[in-house]
Chain A
Amino acid sequence: AQTVTQSQPEMSVQEAETVTLSCTYDTSENNYYLFWYKQPPSRQMILVIRQEAYKQQNATENRFSVNFQKAAKSFSLKISDSQLGDTAMYFCAYRSGNTPLVFGKGTRLSVIA
């Protein structure tokens, strides 16, 4: 079975600084998608960024970028110029085929003014 591991339960970063959240996964599939979701205190799950496993180029979305290392099964999220509104739980997720998303345990990120 596929598993997703987030080894950092909590992290903090100063406003305007850069922070990287780690994620590793285990799979025997070759074709899959990886995602980072953000869950602020409002509970709404918001898609931050997605990466197709067949693409070598790392995905970017404004201040958010990923470092996708397929051989190492690593998928980290970098947040640049951190803002107070980035404070949230961040979940790494995996999907292959028609299976539901598999989530990591999450990383609680606090942005400090």
Chain B
Amino acid sequence: SAVISQKPSRDICQRGTSLTIQCQVDSQVTMMFWYRQQPGQSLTLIATANQGSEATYESGFVIDKFPISRPNLTFSTLTVSNMSPEDSSIYLCSVSRTAVNTEAFFGQGTRLTVV
């Protein structure tokens, strides 16, 4: 398994501002992902965080809105930029130790409310 620390656990933000969410893993991992989860809904993949290169974004998500950094194999950040109430959601960091066919482990999530 992997121990994942995700911060902050929750925040209330003003519209138009930005929030950076941090994900720290206790050991090196190959794959890191960012998901969004609307209340009572399933997880939607935002992007795959690539170490040393630009993140790979899913359809409907763009770098200007959700810039992602991954400076090393244990840390990543997701920024939610120019927030609107529609960005209110739970954001989850997920990691996999190897690239192929293994389970993913999750941080405890960040509950974001935009007012």
Contacts and interface: CB of A to CB of B under 8 A. Distances in A.
Contacts of A33: 101-103
Contacts, number: 54
A24 to B, nearest CB: 15
Interface string A92-113: 0001111011011110100000
15 contacts: A33-B101, A33-B102, A43-B90, A43-B109, A44-B109, A45-B94, A45-B109, A47-B103, A91-B43, A95-B102, A97-B99, A100-B33, A100-B48, A101-B43, A108-B40
Given A33-B101, A43-B111, 15 more contacts: A31-B101, A33-B103, A43-B90, A43-B108, A45-B109, A47-B105, A91-B43, A95-B102, A95-B103, A96-B101, A97-B100, A100-B31, A101-B94, A103-B43, A108-B40
Interface of A: 31-33, 35, 42-45, 47, 50, 52, 91, 95-98, 100-101, 103-106, 108
Nearest to A50: B103
B101 A32 contact: yes
Interface residues of B, number: 22
Interface in B34-62: 40-43, 45, 48
Interface of B: 31, 33, 40-43, 45, 48, 90, 92, 94, 99-106, 108-109, 111
B92 A105 contact: no
A97 B42 contact: no
A112 B82 CA distance: 43
What are the 10 closest A-B residue pairs judged by CB atoms, nearest first? Answer: A45-B106, A98-B99, A43-B109, A105-B42, A33-B101, A103-B43, A103-B42, A44-B108, A100-B33, A100-B45
Nearest to A89: B40
